[in-house]
């Protein structure tokens, strides 16, 4: 069976959560007899048949962006040709240009869409996009949500419950590098033995302003790994507040990321808006057996992290609540260890990549 994934961006251009989901599906599907290809837009230009790990990728030239949406003239032809060779088309929502391509190319193939997130930021444009959005969702065969929490809290998904299936995102520990003693020693010497870790893009919905406020209140050590559009603003805020307990380490290679995940005391994930539909970094913390801190925003973050069991759940956009959760964990290390063990057990039960791939394989075959 041949599946074509279509999304606005992909490795190596960007390294986000959706890209990781596509990668896990493409690589994991091989053992299930599924050959995956990926078409995405890139400012680097058009190119066919590039090899990434064990699957093939294609890129169309991105002509311009508007409201965080990439557009490409060449993508219509590229998509039509590649879709003709596929058995299943797998879309990744939201991306309004994708909806246009879907309708204008008139491809008659079975379709799956993974609904990664509601549209949160572009509320005014959503009113214009709404008719196309709903026409697209009505036209596809299956809509996959990544958590039951998101289905319950999404006004959009509530309209399509008859075609919605829930498949939690899964990750494969075998795709993460073994941590060397040298790397552990380096980071232990640089950052100390005990710290909270944030991993992710430095974006508006990640709640990092509130994390810095909580850092000022608690004086506890926090390591922020990642880069993004808010990087300079956050660094300036930390500098102005003399936050010597906050360490920005930037974007790091996977071996360093694995070392920090293994070394940290707990994973803190303060995302406060529904743009954070799942939280793969939170899942990574669970896989490494770390206690978790997240916010209740009605999405997958509190499907991964269960209050009082795998960690603490704070109020969104509330630095005092976040500081309280951090302090509770810090001052009760035995309970924190137990929560980390529970987080690992929950990962093993619900969030392994093999289970995700198997569920999608069953959906593909049903179509």
d(CA 257, CA 260) in angstroms, rounded, equals 5
For 167, 244, 339, the CA distances from 346, given in Å and listed in that order, are 15, 34, 10
Run of H or E residues at 47: strand 47-52
Q: What is the DSSP letter of 180?
A: P
d(CA 258, CA 151) in angstroms, rounded, equals 31
Run of H or E residues at 88: strand 88-93
The model's pTM is: 0.90
Report whether 351 contacts 172 (CB < 8 A): no
Phi, psi angles (nearest 5°) of residue 267? -105, 120
d(CA 265, CA 35) in angstroms, rounded, equals 40
Q: What is the DSSP letter of 352?
A: B
Report whether 110 contacts 88 (CB < 8 A): yes
Q: Which residues contact 220 (CB under 8 A, 6 or more apart)?
A: 195, 196, 245, 326, 327, 330
Q: Which domains does the chain have, with CATH numbers?
A: 2-172+352-366 (3.40.50.2000), 173-350 (3.40.50.2000)
Place of tokens 């053992």: 31
Local structure of 143: helix, strand or coil? strand
d(CA 301, CA 298) in angstroms, rounded, equals 8
Please report, in tens digits, the pLDDT of each residue of the chain (367 residues total): 999 999 999 999 988 889 999 999 999 999 999 999 999 999 999 999 999 999 999 999 999 998 778 999 999 999 999 999 999 999 999 999 999 999 999 989 999 999 999 887 666 677 888 899 999 999 999 999 999 999 999 999 999 999 999 999 999 999 899 999 999 999 999 999 899 999 998 999 999 999 999 999 999 999 999 999 999 999 999 999 999 999 999 999 999 999 999 999 999 999 999 889 899 999 999 999 999 999 999 999 999 999 999 999 999 999 999 999 999 999 999 999 999 999 999 999 999 999 999 999 999 999 9
d(CA 321, CA 3) in angstroms, rounded, equals 44
d(CA 57, CA 39) in angstroms, rounded, equals 6
328 is written with which tokens? 């509770």
Per-residue model confidence (pLDDT) at position 279: 93
d(CA 114, CA 91) in angstroms, rounded, equals 6
Report whether 145 contacts 115 (CB < 8 A): yes
Strands 69-71 vs 64-66: parallel, antiparallel or unpaired: antiparallel
d(CA 19, CA 17) in angstroms, rounded, equals 5
Q: Which residues contact 31 (CB under 8 A, 6 or more apart)?
A: 357
For 200, 260, 311, 323, 329, the CA distances from 337, given in Å and listed in that order, are 23, 17, 10, 19, 9
**Strands (E) located in 161-308:** 164-166, 196-199, 222-225, 246-250, 266-268, 292-295
d(CA 107, CA 186) in angstroms, rounded, equals 53
Phi, psi angles (nearest 5°) of residue 220? -80, 150
Per-residue model confidence (pLDDT) at position 120: 74
């Amino acid at each position: 069976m041949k599946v074509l994934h279509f999304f606005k961006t992909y490795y190596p251009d960007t390294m986000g959560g959706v890209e990781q989901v596509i990668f896990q599906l493409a690589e994991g599907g091989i053992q299930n007899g599924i050959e995956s290809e990926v078409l995405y837009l890139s400012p680097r230009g058009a190119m066919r048949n590039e090899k990434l790990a064990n699957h093939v990728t294609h890129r169309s030239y991105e002509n311009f962006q508007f409201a965080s949406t990439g557009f490409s003239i060449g993508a219509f032809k590229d998509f039509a040709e590649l879709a003709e060779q596929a058995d299943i088309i797998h879309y990744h929502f939201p991306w309004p240009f994708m909806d246009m391509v879907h309708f204008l190319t008139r491809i008659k193939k079975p379709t799956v869409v993974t609904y990664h997130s509601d549209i949160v930021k572009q509320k005014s444009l959503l009113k214009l996009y709404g008719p196309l959005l709903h026409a697209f969702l009505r036209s596809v065969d299956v809509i996959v949500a990544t958590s039951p929490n998101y289905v319950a809290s999404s006004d959009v998904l509530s309209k399509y419950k008859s075609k919605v299936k829930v498949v939690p995102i899964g990750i494969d520990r075998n795709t993460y590098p073994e941590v060397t003693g040298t790397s552990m020693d380096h980071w232990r010497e640089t950052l100390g033995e005990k710290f909270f870790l944030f991993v992710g893009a430095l974006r508006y919905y990640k709640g990092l302003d509130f994390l810095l406020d909580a850092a000022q209140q608690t004086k506890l050590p926090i390591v922020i790994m990642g880069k993004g559009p808010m990087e300079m603003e956050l660094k300036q805020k930390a500098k102005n507040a003399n936050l010597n307990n906050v360490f920005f380490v930037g974007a790091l290679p996977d071996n360093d990321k694995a070392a920090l995940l293994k070394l940290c005391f707990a994973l803190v994930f303060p995302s406060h808006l529904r743009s954070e539909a799942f939280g793969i970094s939170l899942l990574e913390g669970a896989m490494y057996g770390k206690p978790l801190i997240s916010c209740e925003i009605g999405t997958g973050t509190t499907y991964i992290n269960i209050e009082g069991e795998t960690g603490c759940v704070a109020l969104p956009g509330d630095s005092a609540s976040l500081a309280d959760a951090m302090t509770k964990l810090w001052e009760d290390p035995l309970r924190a260890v137990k929560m980390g063990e529970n987080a690992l057990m929950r990962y093993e039960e619900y969030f392994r990549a093999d289970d995700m791939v198997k569920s999608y394989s069953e959906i593909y075959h049903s179509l």
